[in-house]
Structure 1
Amino acid sequence: MKRVKLVFFLGLLICSQYISAQNKQRLINNWEYLKGDLGGVWEAVRPVKEGNPESVPLWQSVNLPHCFNALNSVDPDENYYQGPGWYRTQLDVKNPYSEGRTLLHFEGAGQKTRVYIYDKKVAEHVGGYDEWTVDITDAVNAFKKTAAFDKEFKGKIPLEIRCDNSRDLEMIPSDLSDFNVYGGLYRYLNLVYVPKVSVDKIFAAASVDAKGALGKLNISGRLLNPNGVDTVSVKIEVRDPEGKIVATWENQIKAFYGDKALWEANLKAPKLWSPEKPNLYTVQTSITAKGDTHVHQEKIGFRSFEFQKKGPFLLNGKRLLLRGTHRHEDHAGVAAAMTEEMIRQEMTMMKEMGVNFIRLGHYQQSRIVLDLCDSLGILVWEEIPWCRGGLGGDVYKNQARRMLTNMIEQHYNHASVIIWGLGNENDWPGDFNEFDEQKIRTFMKELNDLSHKLDPTRKTAIRRCDFCKDIVDVYSPSIWAGWYRGIYTEYKEASKKEFDRVDHFLHVEWGGDSHAGRHSESPDKALSIVETGVGTDERAGDASLHGGAARVSKDGDWSESYIVNLIDWHLKEQENMPWLTGAAYWPFKDFSTPVRPDNPVPYMNQKGVIERDFTKKEAYYVFQSYWTAAPMVHVYGHSWPVRWGDAGEQKMVKVYSNCNEAELFLNGKSMGKKKRNSQNFPAAGLRWMVKYNEGPNQIKVVAKTKDGKEITDEITQEYQTAKWGKPAKLVLEKIAEKDNIVVMQARLFDANNILCLDARNYVTFGLTGEGALIDDQGTSDGSRKVQLYNGRAVISVNTNKGKSVASVKADGIPAGFLSIN
């Protein structure tokens, strides 16, 4: 497969697909950060140089990765910060190579970045999601010749970086997007030493015939050779998943510029890559010049895939139902600055939920994510951030072209990637006074052609832009049955209608919001007022909590109880849609967004199956019950401490399991055995109508695996029969304490001290004293302003080993207080 060469040269910037682990150092510690701008770079240098106590005093010590918006993105009282910020450190540069190059490799920085060595600008970059590399060799060598190098900086190299996420209409993504456009050095930054000649990129195109009998490998490369060395020796080794060398090639060639085809190889009966067996081969390329060798490694996989016309998806010649979700780069307490350990935990949780496909929304993501998708066996749709707002001018378009090129070049070798996404919701106007569908179509076609030129082996796709659906290879319309429009039982019919309109259909984005910890005795009540037969798409204004036609997103209870029913129905139906390529739930984890200030957790999109801090919601187990093979069983309601109803009233207890049979016990008494049948909604038939006792109740389930082993799950729930009246008072109490962290719970009672179990009032927590609220986390138990879930809300306090007084208040209700010692 021939790869068309297209290279964008940006001064000293060198986009790098992979930097060898040799002589590579993550720059994590010893950074200072300043929120806001400076008069110039000299103000960042001067305090270090002179130690002047009257210089700008607002620098704070930080570690990388770091995001401007770690906490303020979910501050309930103000908009998140958008503007410049500065970072500075001092580098101890010791390049081991004679005439070697010293590089700064950015894995991502938002959104506009300038890089300085001392007071000299060495590079700038626009685009918060690309990888990019700066050659600082000449600037470092020049600074070493100054008196300041030895005298003021004691042999260190001053590095200053300015990041800026200010609003800019001529930059993608649009600020109308339903996610934060974060700022900062929020992905890893690496100091890298390479010889005078090194590998810039290796493109390893791995393919396999329909029978899987013959694998082909086409390898081309690009060098970093700024000194113009004439001749290099190239050695390539291919190792199988067990590390055995299965092919080699070696040659001495003239040094080249741009891309050069290096080697074609055949491998008999390669071990195929799949979600079940993600076999990865290693391509190791060694470049030797003037006595120095640079070693570069890539992981590749052999697999074939096909979106059949008007049919399902095939992987390695067999149908695979794509069971997917989505990911935003966002986490409690750090925003976009997720560490490698956090990313690994998140991706592992997805795999353990049964995911075999992910759409990375709505921008190219960290190489760590893509590496994990390769090794875990998760197929990928990755896209550029042309998201909402319309279409800008030449600067705007050039960024889109550049980011598409960077995304494809940087992630070209990943076996997991099957789709390059060109945009999202491009039918959404607002950033410009012109909204011209034909101009959007013209540019979409240009991006589609560019993608196929850069990589003919993968498909292109967009989501929700009907007037461009004929341009791309794969199209996803807007289908939100049971949330923004319609009811969830319309899902299959709506999907088939959209499937028939295009050649290749893939449904990404479905689901709904749930406020973690909120549960309902009548979760589907809102469905009775929603009009059916009028479509299931999302339309302008549907995300608002006010106005318009009845819809569950506005008129429902936002309970976990409703969302598990919606998910359960969708998964049940997907098992009986033989034409379906797949679907992806939106999203895996709750994430912050500037356009949803009125949600139960302000500024949070709460559609995730886990919370922003990895806490699992009940929905996680519904997916597991359909998608996983490892035996599991889960009683619904682990975060539902108190149920309510009349004395003697029958209540449904639901169990989610992938086992064939389960037996329920209530207070030690068997409620009988049930057989699992995925088409028996809800809970695949594993549901029991039982009568709770007033007060505490023990619920236990015993499920049998296929080999006869038993697995269990159990919870304790109170049952309240007393009826509550108008909310009258808030009570704040300590419910746990460990390692100077106090967990507090606020509860809302009526005048007769009866807990108001359907209360959804907003409450605001406060603290005076030596402690500190653990808030601005974007979670149901980490937000100082939050809607109650079943009449209660939880938050924690770091006591700092001192005394404080905590408070909780709600409109029209006397505040509650708690002394903490």
Structure 2
Amino acid sequence: MKIKNYLLPAALFLLSVTTRAQQQQRLNTGWEFLRSDLGGIWEAVRPVGKGNPEASPIWEKVSLPHCVNAYDAVDPDVNYYQGPAWYRTQLKINNPYAGGRTILHFEGAGQKTDVYVYTTKVASHTGGYDEWTADITDAVEAFKKTPQFKGAVPVSIRTDNSRDLEMIPSDLSDFNVYGGIYRYLNLIYAPPVSIQQMHVRPEVKDNGKSATVNVTLQLYNPGKLTGATITTTLKDPSGKKINESTQEVSNLDGAINAATFTVKKPQPWHTDHPVLYTVEATVSKNSASCTQSVKTGFRTFEFVQHGPFLLNGKRLLLKGTHRHEDHAGVAAAMTEDMMRQEMILMKEMGVNFIRLGHYQQSRIILNLCDSLGMVVWEEIPWCRGGLGGPVYQQQAKRMLTNMINQHYNHPSIVIWGLGNENDWPGDFPEFDKEKIRAFMKELHDLSHQLDPSRKTAIRRCDFCKDIVDVYSPSIWAGWYRGIYTEYKSTSETEMKKVNHFLHVEWGGDSHAGRHSESPDKALQNIKTGGGTDERAGDASLYGGAARVSKDGDWSESYICNLMDWHLKEQETMPWLTGTAQWVFKDFSTPIRPDNPVPYMNQKGLVERDLTRKEAYYVFQSYWATQPMAHIYGHSQPVRWGQEGEEKMVKVYSNCDEAELFVNGKSYGKKKRRSADFPAAGLRWNVAFAKGSNEVRVVAAKGKAVVEDKIAFQYQTESWGKPAKMTLEKKAVNGSMATLEVKLLDDKGIQCLDAANWVYFSLAGDGRLIDNLGTSSGSRKVQLYNGRATIQVDTGKGGVNVAAVKSDGLTTVTLDL
């Protein structure tokens, strides 16, 4: 039987249906997974068992969301898998509506997806980041009439992230193009007429004294029914109903103006007070109805020409970062709890702006931006490689259309990003700047046609900077080129070249746990005055001009200084719209196999598992409002120098003053002054005692008092050439053991500047906790100050022998 393909143009949003308590469910459990292709759909559904034992390959039980590349994306020894994968399950379908529709709602699956009910393909989709739905109603009903139906309906899903030059994003991108059903998949029962798309357009009037709310619906009505009742309600932030409209609609096709409300004295949405109103629309037909609920907010924004950003008429310095959908142990398959934890960590750092790079992200993230108060730049994944043909361009337009339609209602969004690094060739023999310009103009016009209320932007494509509303050039002062003290002058020069300047992507890599007593040493060899942009080859760790990214030590110490300088300067640039540091969390990338944690971009302020690096607290000291104080060096167990030599102790704090104590002795109070670099003046020169030291700070902000303390060893012995390694068990928690390797010279002194590669392995009944993409979760990793750690799950206490090898040194083992 031929089944009509019901691939809807835009995702059905979450439905709250009045005739039944639960009409939508996440399909998280009961799935089987195969990381390879099949000969055809029959191999996913043919019976197995007696008489047919080899009818199927071996499937793995998994739960959703699930990423094909949860571990191999950061496996140091293999290329990550790019190819087909299959998921299958058995669903009990009981749609309560006469004539209703049964729908699978994908919040995101990569990168090409086919959906089957038994052996019938019901939908296909290309694009790994936008939402989409598959109507499986007819195929389910047809299968229920067959002898194979035994109470459950087999659903099989094929995903494919194979390399494809005519698909975006490019595989030259500095992030993995993941495969799998890595966002939530929902089963929806909808009545015969339901809401396919709801757009809420708030508009502030009379300088904020009043506002209007226009509500437009598009209905899903495959049966071509006529006549329905639409009731629309507006509720204030407390949930109180303040407006309601009911109308009878005969024609259910196209856009329907459901209601226009007027609001007196609307409470504005702001990053400090993200006030949200609620709009509910209910469509009723016969005895069935469904309700969709949308949050909205009232705000105005403006990018002043050659000047700052205004939110609700007042300057707001955009204090931003970036996000990739990527996490240790799951890759793109982050749960809602993981996403919430990450975004709250950003907000606690003081973030009020985020660029979502480089693709449409989960609806959960946008909801959190609305409720936490973060201004958003969201973009499509036209990233590097050049410009493909008609199929490529059609996908880009489709993804832009879907992103705008699906995230239209979020008050946090002010910018639709059209591309990233589109001046980067490589995917095609032809690299034609004029064709790229022409297509960029098409996307710009399409964006304004779909949503005139927001701006367009791109980053790093100078020959297109006049096309978009807001432009960000490449400025990496102190990392890829130049030194960080050139940041302000470079930014002023670039700001004057465009009408609206917004600097996104700045910072640098740091290997978590690596520290330095002379972090700025590499700067003395860096040429100044030659630009601070990133150019071809600058990201490489080999060849080319001297640059910190290649010649620096990748220490947390250096990155803290770089961040500190940038943040200090941003407070002195009254014309600055804002910036977004790249990137909040370390993330995996296939193009950086030689980084200290292989296949990881380590520019994050936190590691891939959300462990905070020291630089997190530098930002917090400038941006956070909650009183805080943090002594630099929590992850530095050993400092070093000459006996009696004064060493700097830095405290990052947003408090007015702080007092430092070393080994119980006060070293006095100091006032915080942002202009006093480094650490805003909260630094002390101290001669440490040889051996153990304890440092404590007490900081005050008004009546609030906060404290922090650290303990460390001070090593005065100098070391020679690395000669041997030691491996020992540092901690045990149940079956989990933490192992630490150290590199020593021939006298047994730890080589605190050693950055050798080490390779952990395990033989026995347990397993190594690796392929996490963290400094303590990779079996191949560069040492940080002559040491490295990893965890081992020893299992049920069987035989386990751990080993560490390093080129040129004798391998060491440890019987666990």
Band of TM-score, shorter chain = over 0.9
Shift of 1:49: 8.3
Partners of 1:10 and 1:281 in 2: CA distance: 37
Shift of 1:210: 5.8
Shift of 1:287: 0.2
Counterpart residue identity of residue 519, structure 2: P
Report the counterpart of residue 424 of structure 1 in structure 2.
Answer: 420
Shift of 1:11: 5.1
Report the counterpart of residue 361 of structure 2 in structure 1.
Answer: 365
3-state DSSP of counterpart to 1:814: coil
Q: 1:251 aligns with which of 242, 247, 251?
A: 247
Report the counterpart of residue 167 of structure 1 in structure 2.
Answer: 163
Contact 1:761 1:810 in 2 (8 A): yes
Shift of 1:17: 5.2
Report the counterpart of residue 146 of structure 2 in structure 1.
Answer: 146
**CA deviation vs aligned residue, 1:26-81 (integer Å, no higher than 9, x gap):** 00001000011000000000146879431333210000000000000000001111
CA RMSD across the alignment: 1.1
Partners of 1:73 and 1:490 in 2: CA distance: 36
Contact 1:508 1:583 in 2 (8 A): yes
Report the counterpart of residue 112 of structure 1 in structure 2.
Answer: 112
Report the counterpart of residue 20 of structure 2 in structure 1.
Answer: none
Contact 2:32 2:88 in 1 (8 A): yes
Q: 1:746 aligns with which of 718, 729, 741?
A: 741
Contact 2:12 2:133 in 1 (8 A): no
Partners of 1:405 and 1:10 in 2: CA distance: 21
Report the counterpart of residue 5 of structure 1 in structure 2.
Answer: none
Contact 1:210 1:304 in 2 (8 A): no
3-state DSSP of counterpart to 2:159: strand
Report the counterpart of residue 62 of structure 1 in structure 2.
Answer: 62
1:205-244 counterparts in 2 under 5 A? 205-209=201-205, 211-244=207-240
Partners of 1:168 and 1:547 in 2: CA distance: 30
Partners of 1:600 and 1:223 in 2: CA distance: 52
Shift of 1:784: 0.1
Report the counterpart of residue 11 of structure 2 in structure 1.
Answer: 16
1:63-82 counterparts in 2 under 5 A? 63-82=63-82
Counterpart residue identity of residue 130, structure 1: D
Report the counterpart of residue 734 of structure 1 in structure 2.
Answer: 729
Report the counterpart of residue 102 of structure 1 in structure 2.
Answer: 102
Partners of 1:723 and 1:101 in 2: CA distance: 74
3-state DSSP of counterpart to 2:487: helix
Counterpart residue identity of residue 96, structure 1: P
Partners of 2:716 and 2:123 in 1: CA distance: 68
Report the counterpart of residue 531 of structure 2 in structure 1.
Answer: 535
Shift of 1:15: 1.4
Q: 1:64 to 1:713 in 2, by over 3 A?
A: same
**CA deviation vs aligned residue, 1:252-282 (integer Å, no higher than 9, x gap):** 0113222222322210111110111111111
Q: 1:778 aligns with which of 773, 777, 794?
A: 773
Contact 2:34 2:85 in 1 (8 A): yes
Partners of 1:289 and 1:500 in 2: CA distance: 58
Which stretches in structure 2 are left out of the alignment for 5+ residues? 18-22
3-state DSSP of counterpart to 1:813: coil
Partners of 1:583 and 1:311 in 2: CA distance: 13
Shift of 1:420: 0.2
Contact 2:670 2:681 in 1 (8 A): yes
Partners of 1:51 and 1:580 in 2: CA distance: 73
Q: 1:476 to 1:91 in 2, by over 3 A?
A: same
Report the counterpart of residue 38 of structure 1 in structure 2.
Answer: 38
3-state DSSP of counterpart to 2:400: helix
Report the counterpart of residue 381 of structure 1 in structure 2.
Answer: 377
Counterpart residue identity of residue 480, structure 1: W
3-state DSSP of counterpart to 2:148: helix
Partners of 2:152 and 2:199 in 1: CA distance: 36
**CA deviation vs aligned residue, 1:399-423 (integer Å, no higher than 9, x gap):** 0000000000000000100000000
Q: 1:450 to 1:598 in 2, by over 3 A?
A: same
Partners of 2:52 and 2:597 in 1: CA distance: 43
Contact 1:746 1:792 in 2 (8 A): yes
- Answering whether residue 79 of structure 2 is matched by residue 83 of structure 1, we say no
**CA deviation vs aligned residue, 1:769-821 (integer Å, no higher than 9, x gap):** 0010000000000000000000000000000022200000100000111111x
- Answering whether residue 480 of structure 2 is matched by residue 484 of structure 1, we say yes
Counterpart residue identity of residue 750, structure 1: D
Counterpart residue identity of residue 780, structure 2: K
Shift of 1:503: 0.3
Report the counterpart of residue 192 of structure 2 in structure 1.
Answer: 196
Shift of 1:21: 4.0
1:682-761 counterparts in 2 under 5 A? 682-707=678-703, 709-761=704-756
3-state DSSP of counterpart to 2:723: strand
Contact 1:777 1:783 in 2 (8 A): yes
Q: 1:350 to 1:10 in 2, by over 3 A?
A: farther
Report the counterpart of residue 570 of structure 1 in structure 2.
Answer: 566
3-state DSSP of counterpart to 2:474: coil
- Answering whether residue 614 of structure 2 is matched by residue 621 of structure 1, we say no
Counterpart residue identity of residue 371, structure 2: S
3-state DSSP of counterpart to 2:708: strand
Report the counterpart of residue 343 of structure 1 in structure 2.
Answer: 339
Report the counterpart of residue 132 of structure 1 in structure 2.
Answer: 132
Partners of 2:16 and 2:782 in 1: CA distance: 48
Partners of 1:12 and 1:372 in 2: CA distance: 28
Which stretches in structure 1 are left out of the alignment for 5+ residues? 1-8
Q: 1:507 aligns with which of 498, 503, 508?
A: 503
Contact 1:17 1:410 in 2 (8 A): no
**CA deviation vs aligned residue, 1:447-477 (integer Å, no higher than 9, x gap):** 0000000000000000000000000000000
Partners of 2:331 and 2:447 in 1: CA distance: 30
Partners of 2:55 and 2:752 in 1: CA distance: 55
Report the counterpart of residue 122 of structure 1 in structure 2.
Answer: 122
**CA deviation vs aligned residue, 1:461-500 (integer Å, no higher than 9, x gap):** 0000000000000000000000000000000000000000
Contact 2:6 2:122 in 1 (8 A): no
**CA deviation vs aligned residue, 1:714-739 (integer Å, no higher than 9, x gap):** 00010001011110111000000012
Shift of 1:219: 1.2
Partners of 1:286 and 1:739 in 2: CA distance: 53
- Answering whether residue 789 of structure 2 is matched by residue 794 of structure 1, we say yes
Shift of 1:705: 1.7
Q: 1:764 aligns with which of 754, 759, 763?
A: 759
Partners of 1:235 and 1:262 in 2: CA distance: 8
Partners of 2:398 and 2:779 in 1: CA distance: 41
Partners of 1:602 and 1:691 in 2: CA distance: 37
Contact 1:229 1:289 in 2 (8 A): no
**CA deviation vs aligned residue, 1:275-297 (integer Å, no higher than 9, x gap):** 11111111100000122111111
- Answering whether residue 561 of structure 2 is matched by residue 561 of structure 1, we say no
**CA deviation vs aligned residue, 1:413-454 (integer Å, no higher than 9, x gap):** 001000000000000000000000000000000000000000
Q: 1:288 to 1:594 in 2, by over 3 A?
A: same
3-state DSSP of counterpart to 1:539: coil
Partners of 1:771 and 1:466 in 2: CA distance: 53
Shift of 1:18: 1.5
Normalising to structure 1: TM-score of the pair? 0.97
Partners of 2:702 and 2:26 in 1: CA distance: 47
Partners of 1:574 and 1:270 in 2: CA distance: 32
Shift of 1:19: 2.2
**CA deviation vs aligned residue, 1:569-607 (integer Å, no higher than 9, x gap):** 000000000000000000000000000000000000000
Partners of 1:482 and 1:215 in 2: CA distance: 46
Q: 1:306 to 1:252 in 2, by over 3 A?
A: same
Partners of 1:268 and 1:355 in 2: CA distance: 31
Contact 2:48 2:56 in 1 (8 A): no
Shift of 1:354: 0.3
**CA deviation vs aligned residue, 1:143-181 (integer Å, no higher than 9, x gap):** 0000100xxxx2100000000000000000000000000
Partners of 1:337 and 1:229 in 2: CA distance: 39
